[in-house]
Amino acid sequence: MIIALRALKLGDFLVAVPALRALKRHWPDQDLCYAGPVWLTPLAELTGCIDQLLPTPGLEPLSTKVFRPLAAVNLHGAGPESNRVLDALEPRLRLGHSGHGWDGPPWRDDLHERERWCEMLVAHGIPADSNDFRLNPPVIPSRYPGAVVIHPGAAYGSKRWPPERFAQVAAELARQGREVVITGGPGEEELVQEVLGSAGHGVCAAGRTGLPELCALIAEASLVISGDTGTAHLSYAFATPSVVLFGPAPVWQWGPPPWSPHVVLTVAELRRGAAFDEEPDPALLAVGVEDVLAACLELGSQGIPSRGR
């Protein structure tokens, strides 16, 4: 068995997909076990490479059922806490960055997250392709094929574009005859209702859309408009055209590949970079409604086809 630890969020999981596929290719006869939040199970199934998800809500001790795996792979970080969790399994091989008793390449701050984990594996002799990040198609159909999906929420205020601006975008796209669906994560129902109320148009998909349904919705959308969130990373994973608004995080580290159907909007020179602040980052606030609508028009002018069934 191969154990890969990354007990983090949706976007963090998706940037690790290339490394996970590389591990499965390298050890095709070994079960690949992903140690992460249990709610990621539907996504794990869409990678086509994860055999088992080991529920891991954080850096807690792992189940003794995986004691003495062939290899323990630290895709979580390079600190002592994550190393200790894996050391306790007494693996025969340890793959990660150098430090805290582990051998490996030094941690680098100048890499895209997809590239970081692939380069770590390459340094350990395992070929990996950072562009191998697409997910398999969802097994269920979308309730709103071809819709424009707008996701106004984010985990931190620094990444949240003002809801009244999302509402203006939704209203204009609805005026153009587009079906608009507003999504939200747990606890964001009030935000979604605020956007819908101001826009006067759209369908609410917050509070009744699980992860499998969200995957289907994004995979078959004609366009996704979102901040730098897990929803944006889903649009990358399904090659769904998207307009993504960046604030505190650098685009070169977390953004989409440059050759894909995505437009990133930000004003990098204003970026404060305080990821956990409650106030929106200046680089995000500098993006206007007209900028987003122009990006939507740009994607449409590129002949992006409808993705509805």
Condensed to tens digits (0 to 9), the pLDDT of residues 66-90 reads 789 999 999 999 999 999 999 999 9
Look at residue 283 and tell me if it is in a domain.
yes
Look at residue 307 and tell me if it is in a domain.
no
Same domain, 185 and 224: yes
Look at residue 221 and tell me if it is in a domain.
yes
Same domain, 118 and 155: no
Region 12-34 average pLDDT: 98
Overall pTM > 0.85 = yes
pLDDT tens-digit readout, 108-146: 999 999 999 999 999 999 999 999 999 999 999 999 999
Look at residue 159 and tell me if it is in a domain.
yes
Look at residue 130 and tell me if it is in a domain.
no
Look at residue 199 and tell me if it is in a domain.
yes
Same domain, 119 and 252: no
Nearest CA to 234 among 219, 221, 245, 247?
Answer: 219
Which range marks the domain in which residue 72 is found?
A: 2-123
Instruction: Give the pLDDT band of residue 306 (cuts 50, 70, 90).
Output: very low
Same domain, 94 and 41: yes
How many of the other CB atoms lie within 10 Å of CB of 259? 7
Same domain, 217 and 118: no
Distances (CA, A) of 222 to 17, 193, 215, 217, 219: 24, 22, 13, 10, 9
Same domain, 152 and 283: yes
C-alpha neighbours within 13 Å on the C-beta side of residue 227 = 27
Query: What is the pLDDT at residue 31?
Result: 97
The CATH number for 66's domain is 3.40.50.2000
